[in-house]
Amino acid sequence: MSVQPAIALEGVCKRYGASEVVHDVHLRLAAGESLALLGHNGAGKTTLIKLMLGLTRPSAGSVRICGRQPRERGFSALRARIGYLPENVMFHDTMTGRELLTFYARLKGQPRSAVPALLEQVGLGAAMDRRVRAYSKGMRQRLGLAQALLGDPLLLLLDEPTTGLDPLLKRQFYALVAERQKQGASVLLSSHALSEIEARTDRIAIMRSGRLVACGTLAELRRAAGCPTRIRVRIAAAARDAVLAAADGFGEVHLLGPDAVEFACRNGTKMDLLRRVSALGSIVEDIEIVPPTLEDVYNRFSEAAEPQ
């Protein structure tokens, strides 16, 4: 029997009066897959997440989560297997971390005995009996992650999840999410922290002005965007002219000083350029290849005149 996709959006539109904030979005997230949802503020990312949770209805199109529509009868049982971390985490300040997570465990039909271990897992074991009003922003964010992880979720919807976390805690956060994905959970992660998620998701979807303008692996998006690969060559003193002559016609050239040159290669010229430069022998002291970053790709699609 085929496994239903965790998320299936078909021609989804959402209008508020005359304003259309989501237009004709087709998007799928397979079981056990992770997807980064990117876009500027107001691009429609949070609206898509609200549609997936059933907090608002599409004006047109179809939304299915694990094969079910969020508003259909019986979806509440599936909703208990969806973990959601909103962008702005708000908790009752007078409750302790343990009390708050126990409250969410009851809502999800989970045993209260699971609460201490989960708080330990997110690094709040020593603070579980402190009131939330004494928590820092990073601690509140980890508490939010703990409630999202309750109940062995099939799907995690994470909206700007690492806000307020220091670099160590960010690594721990992504390790926790990766472990849940290994156990079969699907992950949709909306974020502006492009460098964080570049190597941490299977595919990337880019929204612009309510439209899905690109979706694929980073390698696929690099090819589609046509961003150049940068090759930085460090050379022996007074050998710059020889390198420039050998690499003539291979794209943009940037002088990085008396002993370094950078070439921006497009359209499959990288290997030819590398062969030419390598053939120069000892005057070439080092070669660094810098592929387009996710930020480069994102900027290209965000600035494009028309969505694909």
Higher-confidence residue: 171 or 164? 171
Pick the range with the lowest mean pLDDT from 171-175, 201-205, 244-248.
Answer: 244-248
Q: Which residues of 21-57 are buried (b: 16+ CB within 10 A; e: fewer)?
A: bbbbbebbbbebbbbbbbbeeebbbbbbbbbbbbebe
Q: What is the mean pLDDT of residues 207-228?
A: 92
Q: pLDDT (tens digit, 9 = 90+) per residue, 37-56?
A: 999 988 999 999 999 999 99
Question: All domains of the chain, ordered by start, with CATH?
Answer: 7-81+152-223 (3.40.50.300), 228-291 (3.30.70.1150)
* pLDDT above 70: residue 156: yes
**Among residues of the chain, what percentage have pLDDT more than 70?**
97
Distances (CA, A) of 200 to 143, 168, 268: 22, 16, 26
* pLDDT above 80: residue 69: yes
Tokens for 229, please give them: 């690969």
From CA 164, how far away is CA 141, in angstroms rounded?
7
Angle at which helices 137-149 and 167-182 pack, to 10 degrees? 0
Q: pLDDT (tens digit, 9 = 90+) per residue, 26-37?
A: 999 999 999 999
| Full-model pTM | 0.85
